[in-house]
Amino acid sequence: MNAPMKIGLIVNPIAGMGGKVGLKGTDGAAALKKALQLGAVPVASERAEQALQPLALLAQDFTIITCSGEMGENACISAGLTPSVVIRTPDRVTTKLDTMAAVGELVNINVSLILFAGGDGTAGDVFAALQGDTPILGIPAGVKMHSAVFATSPGAASRLILRLLREPSPRLATRQAEIMDISEQRENENSHRTKLLGYASVPTDRRLIQNPKSYGTPDEQDSIQGIAKYLEDNLNPCGYYIIGPGQTTQIFLKRLGVQGTLLGVDVIRGKELIDRDVNHKQLITYSRYHPLFVIVSVIGGQGFLFGRGNQQITSDILEQVGKDNIIVISTAEKLASLDRLCLLVDTGDKKMDAALSGYIRVRVDERQTLIVKVDSA
C-alpha cells in the first residue's frame, strides 16, 4: 500500500489584490499600501480554497502541510481539510522572505508537490528558494501570470491533483516549465519587458497547466494594423468602449490618436479617451452607460480572454456589457499557436464563465473573422 502523498501548500495573502483596483501587482510594501488605499481586498485565500475543496473527497490519500493563518491554514480549514503539519509564520503582513522560508521547510519535509497560490511574483519567490527538483504547481491568484507553472484555474489545479491521487506512481511525472516575470515597467506604463527567471518541475499536463505568455512577431503587424483599421471604421460614435490591456489594443488606440495604457484598462467614447488606467469601481460607473462594449485581445500562448491581467473587468461589468458586445481581437497566427484552438475565461464567477463559454467571433484582420470555441479554464 502506497504511503499518503505529501502536499505542501503556500498562500501569498496579498497576491492579486491589485487586480480589481487597477494595479499591475502588489509586490512590495508601497504597492500593497496603495492597493489598500484603493479598497483592495484579499483574493488568494479564496482561490486556494476553491482548489482545495474538491480534494476533501480523497483526504485519506494525502497529507497537507502548510503555513499558519492566512498563508495556508485558514484556506485548508475553510475547504474542510485538516493540515497534518503547520509551519508557524509571523503574525504580521507576510513578505517574500516568509514564502521562501516556507519553501525551504517543505523541501526539508520532502513533500511530493508544492502547491502555491499567487502570481508571477510568488512563483519567482518559490523558485528562488527551491532546492533540487521538487515539483510545484501554481493556483492562479495574482494579477499577471506569464509563467508556465500555473494551472489554468483553481478548478484545474484540483482536477490535476485528484488525477495524481487516483493514479499514484512511485515518482511524479514532470516536465520543465518557465518561470517568467516583468522585469521593467516604466512610469508611463507603455513599455515593459519580461525576463526568464529559470525552469521548475511541474506535473505533466498540457491541458490543465497554462503555457507561458508569448508575444507577437513582426510578421503579424499587417494583420494587427488591419484589425485596428476595422475597429476605427466601425466604432459607434455614441458607444462606450472598455479597452483591455495588450499591444494589439494599444495599436488601435494609437490609430485614434489616444494615449492608452499597455498594462491597464482604458475607456473611450467614440474616438475620444474618456478615462485612462481605470479600476473596477470606475468601470462600474461607466457600465451604466449604453451602448457599452468591451474590446479584448487574446493572450498569446495561453488563450485567455478574461482573468489574466484584466481583473478590473469583472463578471458584473461583463453582465452589463453582454456577450454580443464583447469584441475579441487576435491575429490568426496567435490563434494557431495555441495548443488547442480554444479560448479560456477565468473570471472567478462560475455562472459568468459558463455564460461566456460556447463560441465567439474573433476579428483576425480587417476583412476576416474566425469563429472560435470558448471554455471555462
208: in domain: no
* One domain, residues 49 and 158: yes
pLDDT tens digit sequence for 95-151: 999 999 999 999 999 999 999 999 999 999 999 999 888 999 999 999 888 999 999
Tell me, what CATH number does 85's domain have? 3.40.50.10330
156: in domain: yes
* One domain, residues 299 and 189: no
Burial per residue of 49-71, b for 16 or more beta-carbon CB atoms within 10 angstroms, e otherwise: bbbbbbbeeeeeebbbbbbbbbb
Last residue of a domain, one of 171, 203, 235: 203
Q: What is the pLDDT of residue 188?
A: 40
This prediction has a pTM of: 0.85
213: in domain: no
* One domain, residues 263 and 312: yes
* One domain, residues 14 and 103: yes
User: Which of 350, 329, 168 lies closest to 241, judged by CA?
Assistant: 329
Q: What is the pLDDT of residue 94?
A: 86
* One domain, residues 165 and 18: yes
Domain range for residue 283? Answer: 218-376
* One domain, residues 75 and 48: yes
Grid cell for residue 62: 494525502
- Alpha-carbon distance 89 to 157, whole Å? 25
210: in domain: no
Last residue of a domain, one of 160, 180, 203: 203
Last residue of a domain, one of 152, 175, 203: 203
Look at phi and psi of residue 257 and say left if phi exceeds 0, alpha if psi is from -120 to 50, else beta. left
* One domain, residues 302 and 277: yes
State the total domains in the chain: 2
Q: What is the pLDDT of residue 19?
A: 77
Q: pLDDT below 70 — which residues of the chain?
A: 1-2, 24-29, 31-32, 35-36, 170, 183-193, 216-218
